[in-house]
Structures are given as C-alpha cells and as structure tokens.
Chain A
Amino acid sequence: MSTAWTLALRAARLAAADPHGCGGVVVRAGAGPVRDLWLDHLRGHLAAGRRLLRMPPGIADDRLLGGLDLAATLSAGRPITQAGLLAEADGGFFVVPMAERLTPGLAARLASALDTSLIRVARDGLAASVPARIGLILLDEGIGDEERVPDALADRLAFHLDLTGIRWRETDPVSAAPVPGGSPSDRPSTTAVADLCNAADRLGIASLRAPLLALRVARRVALCDGEAALSEEHVHEAARLVLAPRATRLPPEADDRAEAPSAAPPQDSPEGSSPETEDTMASGVESVVEAARAAIPAGLLAQLTAAACRVPAAKAGKAGAPVSATRGGRPAGTRPGHPREGRLALIETLRAAAPWQRLRAQAGPGGPGIRVQASDFRITRFRQRRETTTIFAVDASGSAALERLAEAKGAIELLLAEAYIRRDKVALVSFRGSGAEILLPPTRALARARRGLGALPGGGGTPLASGLDAAADLARSVGRGGGSAVVVVLTDGRANVARSGAPGRAQAGADALHAARLIRAADIRTILIDTAARPQDPARRLAEAMGARYLPLPYADATVLSSAIRSAR
C-alpha cells in the first residue's frame, strides 16, 4: 500500500464518522476501479442508516430541493410534493459526479445546505425547511489546473484527496467496518487552535475554514483512537490531512524559522488567553508545519514552486461570456411567460396546470383532457455563449523578428488549432515599418489563417501605437457584432515609430502608452507577451497601462508560449 492510499483510507474513515461535521471530501481521480474502491471503503465505514446518494448530472431544482410531483399531482387531483434528493441524503453523503463542471448556482445550493444543515424550499406552493445534514463527495474528474471544483465548495470540505497517481496493486480490498460516531471531547485546546492557525498561515492558506476544519478533524482523530484528550499526534494528523493539500506556498526554510516567532504579533487580543510561552508555541507550530510538509508529495513541491510565480488564471475569454437569450442556446430553466415571448416549455406548463384540474373541471363545461390556461404557460429560458474572437497583434519589426518571431508564429499555429476545436474565430494584425495592417480579418478558416501567418514578413521599425490602435479597432468591431474579443499582443515593447509614421523613440513610446490606455478605457481584455530575450521595463509598463496580463517569455519555445496563453485565457 502506498502512503497516498493509506492517507485516503484514513480520510474515508474520518469522514464517515461525521459526514456533516467535516463537510466531505474532494476526490480528484478519473472514473475507474481505484475511485470505486475508495467509495466502497467509504460506504463500508458509514454507520447503519446513513447512505451515499448519487446526484444525477443536470439535476433540476424540483428534484434537488423538492417541489411538485407532477405524476402524483395529476392522478390525485391535488398538489403532492416530493422531497428533494438533498433532504433524502440527510445524515449521509451526497455524491456529486463530474464536480468540476458544477455551475455556480448549483454549487451555491450545495454550499447553503452545508452551511445551514437545512434545505429551505420556497417552490411550487411548497414552503418548508427540511433537515439536510449532509456531507459532500465531489468527484473531480478535471484534467489540468483549469478544471477544478468550485472554490466556494472545496473550501468547505475538510479532505482533498488526489487518487490519480495510485495504481490498482497499491490498493487493498474492502475490509472496512462502520466507524463509531459520537461527539468529540469538549476539552478546550488553546494551543491546538493557535498551532493550526499559525501553520495554515505559514502554508499560505487564506481561508479561515481550513484551520477550523483541521481542528474538527483532530478531535475526530482523537475519538477514533479512543482517546479523550487532544494530543500533539492528533493535531499533526489533521494538519497532514486537511492543511497539506491546501498549501499554496512552502513554509519558510530552517534559517527563516529563527525569526518567525518574533515576527508573529503578540497575543494581546481580548480573547487571546494563551497560557503558553512564545517558545513552546513556536515549537508546536513548527512540528505541525513539519507534519503537513511531510505529507506534501515531492511532485507537488515542484508544482507549488511553479505556482508561486504563475499568475492566477483569469477567466477572461474562456468560452465567451454567457448572455441570456430567448430563442437560441442551451436551455437554462423556465419562467412564466407567454409562448410569444419564447419557446413553450410543455412539461413545466403541465406541471403548473396539474393541481387545478379538479377545480377547473368543476368550474365549467369543457371536453375531456387537461385544462390549461394562460397563467399556466411557462417558457424556456436559454443561455447562449458569446463567440470569442482571439486577435493576435504581432510585432514583426526588425528587433522582434531577430529574436522570437519564429517561435511566436509556432505558438499562434498551436492556438489556431485549439480555436478551431472550440469554434472560436481568430484574427491577425501585424505591425512593422511605418504602420499596421490586418493580415487576417476574424475568420474560422484555419488553412487561411495558417497561410497568412506563414507569409508574415518581418523587419523594419516598430509602430507599436498603430498596431495597438488597429487591434483595438478590430476588438471594438467584434464587440459591436455581439461577440467578445481577446487581444493577444506579442511585442518587446520597444516602440520607435510614432503614430504619424515618423521615427523617434520618445514620441513613439508616448503614443504607444496612449494607445494602451485607450484599450484599457474600452475595457478590452488583453494579454501581453513580452518577446524580448530579457523581460524589460517598456513591455511591462505597456501591459500595466492597458490593464493586460503580462507574460515575459525568456527562452521559451513554441509549446511553452502556447500553454502560457492558454493558462491566461
């Protein structure tokens, strides 16, 4: 058995003992036998009467929260409501498959159930609160950093497991027995609170829920071990399980530790009744941090170091901002309305009419069949993704051509292939010599784009201002057409041709900054890729002026360049 698997089993045991208290588990793994086995372990640990309930993907509110039961209502002739799945899962776990694709609305509903232990329903004539003390199992099948479980939910769950690296022969068959529940010890533990908070701080964990969950888990560990008091060991295990997977930075190395305690502000808050001295507190924190650090696998350490210098991914331009629409796009719920305002949602209309059938039959003459009135009409709401156009503004001047034009071309080709898969449009603006030209108006024609790119000539001055103006004009026209535009500027930032076409560094630089500010004022999403061999100030200043993400690319090849742009989107 590998350590990761042991840790995962331990988490399953602890979570099963108190599903609601620990919030639940994020399980990052592809669908497969290892994940199923882990779920079997979890199920085995659950006490009798508690269960794992799986959420069907694309569930509607009436089934999730509760609402009118259409079939029963029609046959009974009076409104019959049904409980939602969340309420049915009360006491046990609610399993969410493909959790990386949860919509914010669904995530908020789940989070509110976790926070309040209740489902408040105010739907279809039903007003009730039903208990839903659930824990969540989020099955995260995301690939790469972009696809993740919504932060708002992940933050509320104590355990974050990654089973992707575990092979089948490292696992062991189910031998689990139910874990006794019971309420943890009531002994106050001032040092444990301080240590866990301090450790979370060192590991760069901003949320306050993390130390709180760690504290709960530590108590649960003590209970599982049959001990009444909370010992150092329990706190360490909690740090390994709860804090380590959330670390966003490495704790400072040994040389920094000496000054760390003195750097911590003195405990003079009204509630800070900490009897321990500075020394014992510091050593406690160190051991907790060490425990957490030991649980961070070696691969993750490298990843963390990389993450530290990586800019957090912006959501800009990912798949186009969603807009409400009445006719096209994906269906997104229904609302009362007349069919002439949109498309009639038949089932929802029937649902609205169902409870009235007996009354309406009494009310007046009419043939057999369901009586539907204007107030019953429901129409479908749609959401449509806006089309994204990626505009490349490429510096093809002599200085850039010398340095990285070939690589930039390679990266753009890769992006073109991606854009083709997503059905995005691309456009190409190049600037060199005395002005800018649109080499390729927004298009989906991949072959044409590739041809235009291959024929991109290099050499001459850098009319940066003209290039930015041309890109901004194009972005604005895309916006007017109902799409959303992302401008990717590839330049070294060293302008030497002014707007007028006259050479001169000073005027050219001022013009470029002015053009950049105009881009910012127009609220165009931009990414600036510094193609200079050494990242330099002019490009950085330019990026700031236009509010762009700045990506310096010293010695990067085409693949790295492409993945950088992808992460920026």
Chain B
Amino acid sequence: MPINGLPRAAAPAPPSHPTEAHGIRMPRRPASLTVEVRRTAAREDPAVPPTFPFSAIVGQDEMRRALLIAAVDPSVGGVLVFGDRGTGKSTAIRGLAALLPPMAAVAGCPYACDPGEPAGLCPHCSGRSGARKAQAIPVPVVDLPLGATEDRVVGALDLERALTRGEKAFEPGLLARANRGFLYIDEVNLLDDHLVDLLLDVAASGVNTVEREGLSIRHPARFVLVGSGNPEEGELRPQLLDRFGLAVEVTTPTDLPTRIDVVRRRDAYERDPAGFCAAYAKADRSIRKTLAAARARLPALTVPDATLEAAARLCLALGTDGLRGELTLMRTARALAAYEGAETVSLDHLARIAPSALRHRLRRNPLDESGSTARVARAVEDVLAR
C-alpha cells in the first residue's frame, strides 16, 4: 500500500469538515489503512520516588508565587526561572505538578480535551458524535528532555504499527501530552534553535500542525511553558524571552538559618521520601484548596480602572514594547488577588507582581548601570507612589 507516495492535498481543510475529521487527508484513502490516533500511555516513566513537596521549599517566594499564578490562570503565558545552580528550580516545578488539582478530560482522548467545551480542533473528539465520557486526570506536566528530536516533540507516524500491521496511525508527541497542562524545559537556553522556533510557533497559536511522513494533522496544544536555566550557560533569544509571561530570578539563600533549613529538609527527604511527603501532605493540600478556590473566584474578579491605569502608566514609564506587558501585568495581578482571596485587584498586587511581569521586557539601556529589576522597582515607586 502506498503511504509516502500519496499526493498531498493543497490547502488545509477546515477542521470541522466531517470527512476530514481525523485531520489526516488522503485523496484516495485505501480501505485497509485505518486512521487512528494512539495515546502513548504504555510508555510512561518507571516508578520514581515521590517528588519533593512544594510546600516544603524554603524561601524563593518570588518563584513560588510566579508558579502558583501560572497555575491559577494559565493564560498569563508561562514562567521563566533563571538562576544559580542548586537553587531548587527543578524541584519547585516538579513539586507544582504534584500539587495541581485534577482536571476533567474526555476519556481516551490523547489530547485530554475538556468535555465542557466544543470539540474544536481535536482530531479525536471531533470525530465522535454524542456525549463524551469525562474522567478526572492529573494535570499533565511534560518534560522536554535535552536531545529530544523533532519527531517526538510534534508527533509522528507510529512506525511500529505502520510496519507490523500496515496501519497509518499518528503517534502524538510531547506537545499533545502537554495540552492543557505544563511543558517544562530544563536548561531552556541550551535548546536547539529549530526546536525553539517550533515551540514558539505552537505556544503562540495553541495549535500543533504536523506535516510529515504523509500525515497532515492539526491538534490543540495549549500549554504553559515553564523554562528554567542558568544565564551563564547561554543567553536566551529575545523572541523566546518575550513569550514568557513571568520571569523570576532565583539566588542561593545567603543567611545561615535558611541555608541550614534547606539542607536539613533536603536531607530528611532523601532519607525517607514517603515519610517526608506525608509530613507536608497537609500543607500541600491547603495550597491545592487555595488554588481551586482562586480558580473559581478568578472569572468574577474585575480589575478596577485605577489599577488598569496604573498598569498602563507603569509600562509607559518603563517603555516596554507592545501591549503584552500591560496585559500580563493585569492578568497576573488579578491571579495574585484571586489566590490571596482579595475582593478587588489593588495597587499593592500590581506593585508586588510588577518585577516578575516586566523585568524581561525592558529594552536594554547600556548607559544605565542598574539591572532591570532595579529599574522596575524604581518605576513602581515613582508611578505607584501612594
């Protein structure tokens, strides 16, 4: 049966078209080839010890706040964590995964679609008629390993099935698994350029388009990018920098009691992971509860005009490019207010979140010796003088 020799359709068909439902377009669809999408659940990680509890992380308030904000409102657009070695960047992000409340997803859908929403782009759900069964699944947190190749990131034809059974099946990649969840890139500054371009494109559109090996598939891929890295090992391209909603800098704690505390907890965790996690289970549960409440409160929370105006003035004073800064500032301040259970989004919320939301959007001014964090702090003081 011809697989690769097929002519491709010239233009992409609208996704709602019933005969194109699976997104694989073949002008002469051979009868023996079934088109199907498979989930790679069988190849999950082997048993690993429980992750270090999020609530047991000492200090690093800014990083923890940023991650929680992204969890409350995924539309803030990702978190970038830059800092020294051994400051718990990876620990915090893996800890957040264990913390997130489970979400409802269409049973069997490899893209974990929301049953409450129209099927939209999903090649799996849009083909099925009638009610879709929902199941609770943990929010996906997908690691993008170093050295990953493009075919595993975007998805590709399932080779084994194609060869052994002659079936043309799409094997979803990491982007599919990250839909509605988090995509975590450790050492983001070491990623290959062509993978960065690809990720940028998908992150911007929320849709992953696969055009390879005779496949032509579009599927939803809306995820929160979480990147971590060490700036000493390479600069990040400004286009990628701008894509992250929040940027935080972490440093090794310098005061002795905190340092002792960190080592002591880490040591306790390593000697008895299960017992240590149990000791912090209650604190983790309380954060999870707060998160759920914040998500419920978020849609009703309005941003007062005074806060909006202050956000605009702040961005003007700092000369950030475009409207992305103001939007992120507004959204993150609202998410922070929701997390803290506040009635309204106040100037205080704005002032506290401004450094994380704006520091990576500033034009570099070579004549200004102070770093961007100090410049944001100065602008906050000037603009939000209360």
Q: Which residues of A contact B (CB under 8 A)?
A: 61, 64-65, 77-79, 104-105, 108-109, 112, 115-118, 120-131, 151-152, 155, 184, 186, 188, 190, 193-194, 196-198, 200-201, 206-209, 211-212, 215-216, 264-269, 271-272, 324, 333, 335-336, 355-356, 358-360, 362-364, 373, 375, 517, 520-523, 547
Contact = CB atoms under 8 A, between A and B. Distances in A.
A364 B190 contact: no
B212 A212 contact: no
A104 B3 CA distance: 40
22 contacts: A78-B159, A112-B145, A117-B48, A118-B45, A122-B144, A122-B145, A123-B149, A126-B152, A127-B40, A130-B46, A151-B232, A186-B271, A193-B260, A197-B260, A198-B260, A208-B266, A269-B261, A271-B264, A335-B150, A360-B4, A373-B4, A521-B366
Contacts of A523: 366
B342 interface: no
Nearest to B56: A271
A132 to B, nearest CB: 11
Closest 5 CB pairs of A and B: A122-B152, A120-B145, A122-B148, A61-B147, A521-B366
B152 to A, nearest CB: 4
B322 interface: no
A454 B264 CA distance: 63
A356 B150 CA distance: 18
B212 A109 contact: no
Given A268-B257, A373-B4, A78 B164 contact: yes
Contacts of B145: 65, 112, 120-122
A492 to B, nearest CB: 24
A7 to B, nearest CB: 24
A362 B233 CA distance: 49
A336 B210 CA distance: 14
Contact of A517 (B84, B187, B230, B367): B367
Interface string B37-78: 000100111101000000000100000000000000000000
B263 A206 contact: no
Given A125-B159, A359-B162, A359-B163, A190 B174 contact: no
A272 B257 contact: yes
Interface string B175-190: 0000000000011001
Given A125-B152, A208-B262, A364 B2 contact: yes
B285 interface: no
Interface in B246-261: 252-253, 255-261
Nearest to A184: B271
Given A118-B45, A123-B148, A265-B255, A152 B263 contact: no
Given A78-B160, A125-B159, A212-B263, A265 B257 contact: yes
Contacts, number: 176
A122 B174 CA distance: 9
B146 interface: yes
Contact of A215 (B46, B230, B263): B263
A201 B265 contact: no
Contacts of B43: 127-128
A310 to B, nearest CB: 18
Nearest to A61: B147
Contacts of A61: 147
A234 to B, nearest CB: 14
B384 interface: no
B152 A123 contact: yes
Nearest to A77: B163
A7 B379 CA distance: 55
A196 B149 CA distance: 43
A209 B366 CA distance: 35
B234 A336 contact: no
A193 B264 contact: yes
Given A112-B186, A196-B263, A129 B45 contact: yes
Contacts of B190: 104-105, 108
Given A362-B1, A375-B4, A520 B147 contact: no
Contacts of B213: 375
Contacts of A375: 4, 212-213
B86 interface: yes
A193 B259 CA distance: 10
B176 to A, nearest CB: 12
B362 to A, nearest CB: 16
Interface in B116-168: 143-153, 156, 159-160, 162-164
Nearest to A123: B149
B258 A269 contact: yes
Q: Which of B194, B257, B260, B270 has the most CB of A within 10 A?
A: B260
Contacts of B153: 122
Contacts of A335: 150, 192, 194
Nearest to A185: B271
Contact of A267 (B85, B257, B272): B257
Nearest to A188: B268
Nearest to A196: B263
B193 interface: yes
B344 interface: no
Contacts of B266: 208, 212
Interface string B191-219: 01110000000000000000011000000
Contacts of B150: 335-336
A74 to B, nearest CB: 13
A523 B365 CA distance: 10
Nearest to A544: B369
A117 B173 CA distance: 23
B146 A124 contact: no
A124 B151 contact: yes
A336 B174 CA distance: 18
B35 to A, nearest CB: 16
Contact of B233 (A104, A194, A358, A373): A104
B5 interface: yes
Contact of B3 (A116, A200, A336, A363): A363
A142 to B, nearest CB: 18
B151 A125 contact: yes
B299 to A, nearest CB: 35
Interface in B1-45: 1-5, 40, 43-45
B290 interface: no
Given A115-B90, A124-B151, 20 more contacts: A78-B164, A79-B163, A108-B233, A120-B45, A122-B147, A122-B149, A123-B147, A124-B149, A125-B156, A126-B152, A129-B44, A151-B232, A155-B86, A188-B268, A193-B260, A207-B252, A208-B87, A208-B262, A375-B212, A520-B366
A66 B143 CA distance: 17
B386 to A, nearest CB: 31
Nearest to B40: A127
B233 A193 contact: no
Contacts of A78: 159-160, 163-164
A212 B85 contact: no
B146 A108 contact: yes
Nearest to B229: A108
A133 B310 CA distance: 52
Contact of B146 (A109, A128, A129, A193): A109
A207 B85 contact: yes
A128 B46 CA distance: 9
Nearest to B194: A335
A201 to B, nearest CB: 6
A272 B255 CA distance: 13
A474 B348 CA distance: 50
A137 B383 CA distance: 54
Nearest to B270: A216
